[in-house]
Amino acid sequence: MSIKNDLFLRALKGETVERPPVWMMRQAGRYLPEFMALKEKYDFFTRCETPELASEITVQPIRRYGMDAAILFSDILVIPQAMNIDVEMKPNFGPYLPNPIRSQKDLDRVIVPDIQDSLGYVMEAIKMTKEKLNDDIPLIGFAGSPWTILCYCAQGQGSKNFDKAKELCFTQPLVAHALLQKITDTTIAYLKAKVAAGVNAVQVFDSWGGMLSPTDYQEFSWYYIQQIIDALKDEIPVIAFGKGCWFALKGMANSGAAALGVDWTCSPQNARYLTGGKITLQGNFDPSRLLSPPTEIKKMVTQMINEFGKDRYIANLGHGILPNIPLENAKAFVDAVKEYKG
């Protein structure tokens, strides 16, 4: 079946488009009252693990705003869960991993799981979501980067500097690399299963890549992301997004990724310069800027598109949408892109 609105897929291929496609990272989330209504009834992992709920949450923002792509509601931490690492989601705290991986002994209990067995519920959610979307727009599947997953696995929770994760890498590099490889192998199998279930593109989120120096980034993060891209790029477009990783954009541009996400600390001109102008870029509106008045948001979005250029470009935020964004401001962002005349 062909997708009716294939603007997003055409932009990924680098084709000439009438306007850029638009979606927002974390668009299926806490800024929507319809999402909060479900959040009050069901805990976090129940929402992830129940295909009916995950698919409903995925399409909520599409019904409201009509983005050009949907992204499956899930979480990057379903991967460590499947790998025999306990993950809890604590209210007003965030992810908590009670038994962090900090030694070879800890690593010995980490498995590379059977994906259908441990994460089959995600594939069911994809199939249900595809039915609801009715081939109107593409569906994006995603995973966290191996380094970002390691950050949580070694730290045991969120952190401003992920010092325990870095300590593992720098004092026990063999353990760190073995864990990263297990995460990578699991992630490749997971994303391939998502492709088989029907997603139209995948994104790898390296949320904590910017915590590493450029040299350490190559060793502990990009080396593993590259394996994921290599394993999937012939089957499906892969978007790589490293927050705070502008320093690696030049190398990323030659990776075989279909597109690269850019955060708001890197200007459109600089991102185009670093990537040689030959790859689709996605981003990079500061999520906090959605707190500006709607008229100002529209002006800034138009300027952002003008600076990136309408082709080989996907309008998005530079990271996930914040929970306190007014509904009309999110609408102004999406509408500004849809109304764009280049």
pLDDT band at 112 (very low <50, low <70, confident <90, very high): very high
User: Region 12-36: what's the mean pLDDT?
Assistant: 97
Q: Is 37 known to sit in a ligand binding site?
A: no
The residue assigned the tokens 């995948």 is: 202
HSE, side-chain direction, 13 A CA sphere, residue 39: 13
Cβ neighbours around 167 below 10 Å, total: 14
Instruction: Give tens-digit pLDDT for 321-342.
Output: 999 999 999 999 999 999 999 7
Cβ neighbours around 148 below 10 Å, total: 26
The token pair at 326 is 């007014």
Percent of the chain with pLDDT over 70: 100
Q: Is 319 known to sit in a ligand binding site?
A: yes
Question: For residue 91, what pLDDT is reported?
Answer: 87
Cβ neighbours around 57 below 10 Å, total: 25
Give the whole-angstrom CA distance, residue 58 versus residue 282: 20
Q: Is 102 known to sit in a ligand binding site?
A: no
Q: Is 75 known to sit in a ligand binding site?
A: yes
Residue 322 near residue 288 (C-beta atoms within 8 A):
yes
Q: Is 320 known to sit in a ligand binding site?
A: no
Question: For residue 1, what pLDDT is reported?
Answer: 63
Q: Is 109 known to sit in a ligand binding site?
A: no
3-state secondary structure of 2: coil
Domains annotated for the chain, with CATH where assigned, are 7-338 (3.20.20.210)
Residue 60: burial class (beta carbons within 10 Å; 0-12, 13-18, 19+) = buried
Beta bridge partner(s), residue 241: 205, 261
Q: Is 142 known to sit in a ligand binding site?
A: no
Residue 220 near residue 176 (C-beta atoms within 8 A):
yes
Average pLDDT taken over every residue of the chain: 97
Residue 5: burial class (beta carbons within 10 Å; 0-12, 13-18, 19+) = middle
Global pTM? 0.97
Q: Is 177 known to sit in a ligand binding site?
A: no
Question: For residue 227, what pLDDT is reported?
Answer: 98
User: Region 157-161: what's the mean pLDDT?
Assistant: 96
Q: Is the pLDDT of residue 149 over 90?
A: yes
Instruction: Give tens-digit pLDDT for 181-236.
Output: 999 999 999 999 999 999 999 999 999 999 999 999 999 999 999 999 999 999 99
The number of helices, as runs of H, and strands, as runs of E, in the chain is 16, 9
Within 8 A by CB and 6+ apart from 9, the residues are: 3, 138, 200, 201, 237
